């Protein structure tokens, strides 16, 4: 299996999904070798980055707990879910940190652009294919497609291409040609394609010219063992008594719709005052979003936390009275499930895969900021609404588990063997 | 309204009129139509109202009393309940020249206490669901006397025979499919000797809307009365004729609220979750404030929110009997319907407050006058 992040060394939903899927597959008796580009998987200004080497070690010791999953590392600076413009942003941040830190980072040679990284990964992949014993090649998203294709060329084993996001999602419908070409080549040469939702499946069929029969849907899920909520102490974490908290958590990029979140927040604040909006995450639109809040004169109602990981994520979900995922285009979107896990009701955009499996939540079109504000206000004002959303949403959650997704995946494997 | 008039109300009314004429008045039927529905016929499909008038003139058709707004008001405000029943009664008199004598509550919601209340309002009969859990071994095919009542007769819906037509008629997986008039009449005949009355009570939209015309429902109904009348012991009656003709078989004690909804036959479809309770409590909380304004437009808008459908749309128990709840539901989710309802309610509350702030009736309301009634 080719991927590029794995918890706790991950920055987005992809790592979480790979973790859950491999765990589910292992439960089904599948042995998984997970190949990923080692190295800093996430570049931010947060000091946690300095502990990256330590994180690497935790990472290694954790892996041994996953019986049946072997991990292989390949050096690379591949940051998940990013558009190539964003890669430059991350690379630049990384360089700044390197300078600040006196260049004490591991002297790996990082490619000047993302494509070079992708091809470097592909070269290593061929080597790995020689040493490993496997029956199926499974590749997660376009950056691993060249790697998986070279493994396929060498081994002649069937290739399953797993699409978690397309270039159309990342760029808001303005794909980069090189990325698109890599995606399409991977999809065409794959023996079968797995999409994380019908939403993504339709995108693959309509934008990549793939025959519908070749595309199967296996929805993402949540880790069953992890659905206990974080133990939240209101007395410790509550920011202000009687103040409601609305949370955005995700990369601050075009795809995630942070600008719609701010527009809706402005409308909410025109109706009620006791609300605070938290934006957790980083991304290339961050400064623009901060400026947007300032323009509307509502920046005092906003908190930008930067990138969060581990316990802090559960804690911030628990602090929130409502989680909002206003994505412009979201192939799946695992965060609403994590919010529900922490007993926080969710409002999601209809342009998301998760809305196919989650019925007990509030839904809006991402562009409809009036409706978004309307539903935010209702969720904050009526306890009966938020309680019903949590109670029934958690019932939904218990049906969305990785074991059933892994069973579907196993059927996909069997169909190409 | 035009669509449902074309598909259901007009063809079914025409069929019933034809059956009355063909049987020389032996076929009879009783209608339960809300005030809101009659109002909307008047506004959007006056020919439907006209066809009901024609039916009323035959003398073979009875109209049943209920709340004007198809509301759950009995459980929340007796005052409002009485006002809505009276308003409905007046409308029936005005539009159809009929004074109802038998009452049925919204969604057949019923208990002993309601029966007593209705008896005291002067009705001779009341209709309830013949639910298994209240009947036990007893048959729905007799007239009963609610406990603590002296005069009123209780008529029970035979839900099995009613649902055979309303729900199962076109279901190919049903073992009795396809249902012929001969078979159905046979089931009716088999009750003779062990019952006095079979009360078939169904949604009018069964004819042409739940069961589309292509299922053969109209052909079935066009032949059924003739087939039933072939048996010399059978006849058709309106609900008050049944109440007049038979003495109660026994007392029937129904302490808890029952209804005709879902598998549970209880109130959980309307009052099963926190949102529904929250919404309805908020609604009745402002009742007296709305009434004290004396503003007919405000009162009318508030009353429209009492319609039980608003709460039905907020039902979250979709998993068991979901398809019925989703049908005819204008909202994508129960949460959306709750939000819409609360927004409208807040708006009314805001208008009430504005009324008091100004110390009298809003000028704009005075000019537009009260909403036109049919």
Domain B2-252 has CATH 3.40.718.10: no
Both tokens of A281, joined, read: 């995450």
Both tokens of A75, joined, read: 């050096």
Nearest chain B alpha carbon to A389: B335
Q: How many Cα atoms within 13 Å fall on the side-chain side of residue B159?
A: 16
> Would you call A219 helix, strand, or coil by DSSP?
coil
Domain with CATH 3.20.110.20 in chain B: 2-252
* Domain locations along chain A: 13-221+402-416, 224-399
Q: Is B318 on the interface with A (CB under 8 A)?
A: yes
- A261 Cβ partners below 8 Å, 6+ apart? A248, A277, A279, A324, A326, A372
Q: Is A371 on the interface with B (CB under 8 A)?
A: no
**Are the C-beta atoms of residues A403 and A19 closer than 8 Å to each other?**
no
> Is B210 a residue whose pLDDT tops 80?
yes
Among A residues 135-174, those touching chain B with beta carbons less than 8 Å apart: none
pLDDT digits (tens, 9 = 90+) for A211-268: 999 999 999 998 766 656 677 677 667 778 789 999 999 989 999 999 999 999 999 9
Superfamily classification of domain A13-221+402-416: Glycogen Phosphorylase B; (3.40.50.2000)
Fold match between A13-221+402-416 and A224-399?
Answer: yes
Euclidean distance between CA atoms A369 and A373, whole angstroms: 6
CA distances, A374 to each of A264, A319, B90, B335, B338 (Å): 9, 21, 40, 12, 12
The CATH code of the domain at A224-399 is 3.40.50.2000
Beta strand A69-75 pairing with A322-325: unpaired
pLDDT digits (tens, 9 = 90+) for B157-177: 999 999 999 999 999 999 999
- A343 Cβ partners below 8 Å, 6+ apart? A229, A232, A318, A390, A394
A222-236 CB burial, b ≥16 within 10 A, e <16 = bbeeebebbebeeee
The pLDDT of B276-281, averaged and rounded, is 96
The β-bridge partners of A2 are A35, A139
User: How many other C-beta atoms are found inside a 10 Å radius of the C-beta of residue B281?
Assistant: 11
Euclidean distance between CA atoms B234 and B226, whole angstroms: 11
pTM, full prediction: 0.83
A13-17, B13-17, B310-314: segment of lowest average pLDDT: A13-17
Both tokens of B234, joined, read: 């059978």
User: Could you tell me what percentage of chain A is helix, strand and coil, using 3-state DSSP and rounding each to the nearest 5?
Assistant: 50, 15, 35
Report pLDDT for A172.
79
Both tokens of A160, joined, read: 């399953």
CA distances, B224 to each of A144, A177, B302 (Å): 69, 69, 43
Q: Is B311 on the interface with A (CB under 8 A)?
A: no
Report pLDDT for A272.
95
Size of the A and B interface in Cβ pairs below 8 Å: 48
**Chain-centre distance for alpha carbon B236:** 20
Euclidean distance between CA atoms B296 and A271, whole angstroms: 29
> Would you call B129 helix, strand, or coil by DSSP?
strand
> Is B56 a residue whose pLDDT tops 60?
yes
Burial of B350 (0-12, 13-18, 19+ CB in 10 A): exposed
Nearest chain B alpha carbon to A380: B339
> Is A108 a residue whose pLDDT tops 70?
no
pLDDT band at B262; cut points 50, 70, 90: confident
Beta strand A159-163 pairing with A137-140: parallel
Residue linked to tokens 């039902």: B315
Which candidate from A362, A382, A388 shows the least CB-CB separation from B316? Answer: A388
The pLDDT of A198-217, averaged and rounded, is 95
The β-bridge partners of A248 are A279
């Amino acid at each position: 299996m080719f991927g590029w992040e794995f918890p706790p060394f991950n920055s987005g939903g992809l790592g979480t999904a790979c973790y859950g899927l491999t765990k589910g597959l292992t439960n089904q008796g599948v042995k998984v070798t997970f190949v990923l580009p080692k190295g800093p998987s996430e570049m931010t200004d947060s000091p946690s980055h300095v502990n990256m080497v330590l994180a690497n070690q935790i990472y290694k010791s954790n892996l041994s707990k996953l019986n049946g999953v072997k991990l292989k590392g390949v050096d690379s600076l591949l940051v998940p879910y990013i558009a190539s413009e964003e890669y430059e942003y991350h690379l630049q941040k990384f360089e700044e940190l390197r300078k600040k830190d006196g260049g004490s980072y591991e002297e790996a040679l990082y490619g000047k652009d993302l494509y070079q990284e992708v091809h470097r990964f592909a070269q290593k992949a061929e080597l790995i294919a020689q040493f490993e014993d496997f029956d199926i090649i499974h590749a997660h998203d376009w950056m691993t497609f060249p790697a998986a294709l070279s493994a396929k060329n060498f081994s002649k084993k069937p290739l399953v291409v797993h699409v978690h996001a397309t270039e159309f999602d990342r760029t808001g419908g303005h794909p980069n040609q090189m990325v698109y070409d890599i995606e399409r080549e991977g999809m065409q040469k794959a023996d079968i394609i797995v999409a994380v939702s019908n939403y993504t499946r339709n995108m693959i069929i309509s934008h990549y010219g793939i025959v519908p029969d070749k595309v199967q849907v296996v929805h993402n899920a949540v880790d069953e063992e992890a659905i206990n909520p974080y133990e939240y102490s209101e007395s410790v974490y509550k920011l202000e008594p009687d103040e409601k908290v609305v949370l955005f958590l995700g990369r601050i990029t075009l795809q995630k719709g942070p600008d719609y979140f701010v527009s809706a927040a402005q409308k909410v604040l025109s109706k009620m005052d006791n609300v605070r909006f938290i934006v957790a995450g980083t991304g290339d639109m961050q400064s623009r979003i901060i400026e947007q809040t300032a323009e509307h004169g509502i920046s005092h109602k906003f908190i930008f936390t930067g990138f969060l990981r581990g316990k802090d994520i559960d804690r911030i979900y628990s602090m929130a009275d409502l989680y909002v995922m206003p994505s412009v285009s979201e192939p799946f979107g695992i965060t609403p499930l994590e919010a529900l896990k922490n007993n926080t009701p969710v409002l999601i955009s209809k342009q998301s895969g998760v809305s196919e499996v989650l019925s007990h939540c509030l839904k809006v079109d991402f562009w409809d900021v009036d409706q978004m504000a309307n539903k935010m206000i209702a969720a904050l004002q009526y306890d009966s609404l938020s309680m019903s959303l949590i109670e029934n949403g958690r019932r939904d959650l218990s049906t969305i588990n990785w074991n059933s997704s892994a069973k579907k995946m196993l059927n996909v494997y069997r169909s190409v063997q | 309204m035009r669509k449902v008039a074309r598909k259901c109300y007009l063809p079914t009314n025409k069929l019933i009129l034809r059956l009355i004429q063909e049987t020389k008045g032996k076929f009879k039927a009783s209608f339960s139509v809300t005030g809101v529905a009659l109002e909307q016929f008047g506004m959007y499909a006056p020919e439907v109202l006209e066809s009901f008038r024609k039916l009323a003139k035959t003398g073979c058709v009875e109209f049943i009393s209920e709340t004007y707004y198809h509301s759950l008001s009995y459980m929340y405000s007796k005052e409002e309940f009485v006002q809505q029943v009276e308003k409905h009664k007046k409308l029936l008199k005005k539009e159809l020249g009929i004074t109802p004598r038998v009452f049925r509550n919204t969604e057949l919601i019923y208990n002993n206490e309601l029966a007593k209340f209705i008896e005291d309002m002067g009705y001779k009969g009341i209709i309830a669901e013949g639910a298994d859990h209240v009947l036990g071994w007893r048959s729905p095919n007799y007239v009963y006397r609610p406990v603590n009542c002296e005069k009123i007769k209780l008529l029970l819906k035979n839900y099995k025979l009613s649902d055979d037509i309303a729900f199962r008629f076109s279901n190919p997986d049903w073992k009795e499919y396809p249902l012929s008039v001969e078979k159905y009449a046979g089931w009716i005949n088999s009750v003779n000797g062990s019952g006095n009355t079979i009360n078939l009570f169904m949604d009018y939209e069964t004819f042409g809307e739940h069961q589309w015309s292509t299922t053969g429902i109209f052909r079935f109904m066009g032949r059924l009365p003739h087939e039933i009348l072939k048996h010399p012991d059978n006849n058709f009656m309106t609900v008050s004729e049944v109440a007049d003709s038979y003495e109660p078989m026994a007392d029937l004690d129904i302490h808890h609220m029952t209804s005709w909804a879902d598998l549970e036959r209880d109130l959980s479809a309307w009052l099963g979750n926190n949102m529904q309770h929250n919404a309805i409590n908020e609604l009745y909380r402002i009742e007296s404030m709305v009434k004290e304004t004396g503003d007919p437009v405000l009162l009318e808008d508030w009353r429209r929110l009492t319609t039980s459908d608003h709460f039905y749309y907020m039902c979250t128990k979709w998993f068991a009997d979901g398809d019925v709840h989703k049908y005819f539901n204008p909202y994508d989710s129960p949460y959306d319907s709750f939000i819409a309802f609360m927004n409208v309610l807040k708006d009314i509350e805001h208008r009430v407050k504005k009324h008091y702030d100004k110390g009298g009736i809003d000028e704009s309301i005075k000019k537009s006058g009260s909403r036109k009634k049919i």
